[in-house]
Structure 1
Amino acid sequence: MLVARSEPGDKSQTTDMYMNEAETVEIVNHPYKTCNTDALKNRLNQLAGLPSLDFAGGEVESSFKYRPSIRDMAAFEFQPQHIVANPYTLFFKADTFDHREKLKTIFPFVLGAITNKILALRRELKELVKEFELKTEELNNRKAAANAWIIDIKASYSKAREFGLLREAPNPQTDWDINNYIQILQKVPKSSELNLPKIEEGSTERAVKELNALKNEEEGISHSIGVLRNKLSKLESLSYSEEQYGKALNFQTERLDSVGWFEDKIKDKTLCPFCGSESRSASDEISKLLEVTKNVQRTSQAVTSAREVLDKEIADIKKQLRDLEGRLNVVRDHRQLLESKSEDLRARRQTLNEIYRFVGRLEQSLDNLNIVQIDSRLVEELKLLESRIKDIKVKLNPEEEKRRLGNALNYISSYISHYVKFIDVERPNDPIHLDTTNLTVQVLLKNRSRKDYLWEIGSGANWMGYHISTLLALHEYFLSLNISPVPNFLVIDQPSQVYFPERWPGDLDPKNPSKLPEEPSSDDIERVNKIFRTLSEGLSRTKNKLQLLVIEHADEITWQGIKDINLVDRWRDGRALIPQDW
């Protein structure tokens, strides 16, 4: 398969793709659009055998539970420079939250603990449980409806006997169920022998008209009482306010009583006891107080007069209320008498329409009861659903799934322990465990008294060693499965960077081209050589079914004598992975 993606130009990205799938594929000079990215991903998903089912049984609430995709498998395919010796991130793209959570979800699937069949069973279980709940609810509703109908059916049985529609029907027994009543009542709609008494024509109509007139009169009187009651409430509130205002005026009047005495004692002009000059100021002030006194007295008299009018109005309204309440009692007594007579009349008469209505209601009730009667087919369907659900739950045994995952992790951990001895980490003999919850490895002390996570183990060489060992172990396990969705290749970029962080010692220094190249030490060469020996061991253990692609600036001296290594190209002096003419 040859795949190419269009240059996006000014856009951030493009979905235009070139895809050619055949037994023999030729490189084209000018690729053209044959599909889009979605079509390519779907085809790669098909080739990888990835299911179209999600991990939530069809009810996805989080993107982490979406179906597995070929893009998710990239976590096991690539170890770029920023990942291959990263103490905190073991897998490609697992340094972002979304990819990290999705990887946790798919891990049991790629390890074979969860299969396509299990995902299909999860979806089926969700649907069966939903159907079982709906049918159980329907059955319970039918049971409840049938239990509710038993009271009505018993009442209908008694009414039918009262009307003489079941002359020879036996008395109901205490051990009768609803079917005993139904069996006898079903005869009523078929019976035509109805003994119907005669009644006076028009009596019901006259009684109804008179009752309606009394109801209307009662409503009118009640409305008038409500209006007067509201008015009385407002007048009494006003009366109380006037009373309080009058008391305040009386208090002011009492305080001003002494003004007359001052008027008698103070003349128009008075002499100042200090300077002997004449002054009218005292007389003027007394005149003002006299005017205020007169105003208060006039206001008090007006309030007294208004209170008399208000009291008369309140008394009139109270009398009107008493009269209306008397009329209301008379109307209600009359109405009650007519209703009592009407009830007596209805109790005595059994009109043709009334019996027909009863028979019609009974017939409808029997039809409805047939609908809500418990259907044996519904019970049988529930039994079949329950049996299938139990069967699926046995197959989806979480403990069995946990056991399969544990076995897979044990195999992978043992493979990792094998590879770390080749790549020579500091603690090659300590037990190792792949932690799929935290997406890292744990190194245990031999006595298992302590476990150290990857980020707790020092040196970039150790981190790189565990990265490569873990990825080789995973691919060895994937290839041992009958079916694996993970493509059998692994790309590793610059694993020797932990020893030569800037460049290979034999290369020219771009910052100082005149400086003679350094010769790498034998110790450095040996350490890088262990990386390639470990990779070669991975090819050997997988019988060359795994393809390893290493992009490395270390020279050929680091892999001399190691089998299965093929130098594809040497990118130096301006030559790189992407040709200049591209």
Structure 2
Amino acid sequence: MKNKEDLDNQASRYVGRLEEYLESLDSLSDFNDRGYDSIIKDIEYIESQLKEEFNVDSKIRTAETYINKQMNKIGEKFDFEEDYKPINLKFSLLNFDLYYKTDDDEKVYLRSMGSGANWLYSHLSLFLALHRYFCKIGDKSVIPPILFIDQPTQVYFPANIEDNSNKFDAKELVKKRGKPENLDADMKSVKNIFEQLVQFCTDTKDLTGIEPQIIITDHADGLTLDNVTFDDLVVARWRNRGFIHPLPDEGYNVVEDNVVDEEQAVDGVKAEQLNLLDPPN
């Protein structure tokens, strides 16, 4: 841009475009002012109906109390920093605020909670508590208890660290990260994440009769867990293959081919490949 024309000319042109845009907003202000009072009245009327006829406030408080209680119960088992123990997280169903409440009733929001680990565990605690509530209310919930989590171990093995090896090597990754002395503590926390997620599903089924499903994509692998065999949790490994595997042969025309094999499914893809609960080796 600098080579194209004088910078002063460029600045003048953009200032002109900005002024034109602001003038267009002014032309809408009269319309907005006329409709504003009417909209506010509509909102107030709807809110009053919700409170009087459906007892929404009471239901929200009941749900919020349950979610906050479960969130802190779950959070106690994660590796929060010592400054945030004991866990006292709060979540508002009115504005979706999530914060830590101190003994002095001060609200500490996530942006001020320090390390990425605190962020991760705050979100995990909240999401799990929400899904436990969905299971608790059963058929009344319109949200299925299915939680997808992408790379929760990024806190300990950041995505910007290259990992092209055939197997997960935690020792090599922390070395690349420049903090090999943290290996034992990091691996302990990583293992605890998976163990608590498994335990959450079991406990929730015991409490509610419904077992939630948690789907995780991560490069952590081969972990030795206390309460479950890690390989039993793994649906598929993609280190040496793509998500779609095997790929169809080049030039394969699914429209012209007649699928007659009973093991074949739609568009020439084998049936067992469509079943994500029982994927091919």
**Pairwise TM-score range, normalised by the shorter structure:** 0.5 to 0.7
Tell me the equivalent position of 1:523: 185
Structure 2 residue ranges without an equivalent (≥5)? 1-38, 40-44, 175-182, 249-281
Tell me the equivalent position of 2:197: 535
3-state DSSP of counterpart to 1:556: coil
Q: TM-score, normalised by structure 1?
A: 0.29
| Larger RCO: 1 or 2 (CA < 8 Å, sep 6+) | 1
Flag the structure with larger Rg: 1
Conserved in 1, the CA contact under 8 Å of 2:92 and 2:98?
yes
- Counting only pairs closer than 5 Å after superposition, residues 108-187 of structure 1 correspond to structure 2 as none
- 2:98 corresponds to which of 425, 432, 441: 441
Residue 116 of structure 2 aligns with an amino acid whose one-letter code is: G
Distance (Å, rounded) in 2 between the aligned partners of 1:445 and 1:526: 27
Tell me the equivalent position of 2:86: 429
User: Do structure 1's residue 468 and structure 2's residue 124 form an aligned pair?
Assistant: yes
User: Do structure 1's residue 508 and structure 2's residue 165 form an aligned pair?
Assistant: yes
Tell me the equivalent position of 1:481: 137
Residue 401 of structure 1 aligns with an amino acid whose one-letter code is: V
Q: Note closer, same or farther for the CA distance 1:542–1:422 as it changes in structure 2 (3 Å cut).
A: same
Residue 418 of structure 1 aligns with an amino acid whose one-letter code is: K
Conserved in 2, the CA contact under 8 Å of 1:441 and 1:453?
yes
User: Do structure 1's residue 547 and structure 2's residue 201 form an aligned pair?
Assistant: no
Q: TM-score, normalised by structure 2?
A: 0.57
Conserved in 1, the CA contact under 8 Å of 2:134 and 2:144?
no
Tell me the equivalent position of 2:266: none
Per-residue CA shift, 1:194-242, capped at 9, x if unaligned? xxxxxxxxxxxxxxxxxxxxxxxxxxxxxxxxxxxxxxxxxxxxxxxxx
User: Do structure 1's residue 568 and structure 2's residue 224 form an aligned pair?
Assistant: no
Per-residue CA shift, 1:402-454, capped at 9, x if unaligned? 12211211110111101111112121314221123442311101242x11111
Tell me the equivalent position of 2:14: none
Q: Note closer, same or farther for the CA distance 1:579–1:464 as it changes in structure 2 (3 Å cut).
A: same
- Displacement of 1:507 in angstroms is 5.5
Residue 414 of structure 1 aligns with an amino acid whose one-letter code is: K
Distance (Å, rounded) in 2 between the aligned partners of 1:504 and 1:417: 32
Distance (Å, rounded) in 2 between the aligned partners of 1:577 and 1:469: 29
- Displacement of 1:563 in angstroms is 2.8
More helix per residue: 1 or 2?
Answer: 1
Q: Note closer, same or farther for the CA distance 1:505–1:562 as it changes in structure 2 (3 Å cut).
A: farther
Q: Note closer, same or farther for the CA distance 1:424–1:471 as it changes in structure 2 (3 Å cut).
A: same
- 1:418 corresponds to which of 37, 52, 73: 73
- Displacement of 1:518 in angstroms is 1.8
Distance (Å, rounded) in 2 between the aligned partners of 1:416 and 1:436: 13
Residue 121 of structure 2 aligns with an amino acid whose one-letter code is: G
Distance (Å, rounded) in 2 between the aligned partners of 1:398 and 1:455: 38
Conserved in 2, the CA contact under 8 Å of 1:431 and 1:446?
no
Number of equivalences = 185
Tell me the equivalent position of 1:340: none
- Displacement of 1:561 in angstroms is 2.7
Structure 1 residue ranges without an equivalent (≥5)? 1-60, 62-124, 127-391, 510-516
Distance (Å, rounded) in 1 between the aligned partners of 2:95 and 2:247: 44
3-state DSSP of counterpart to 1:569: coil
Q: Note closer, same or farther for the CA distance 1:417–1:407 as it changes in structure 2 (3 Å cut).
A: same
Percent identity, please: 29
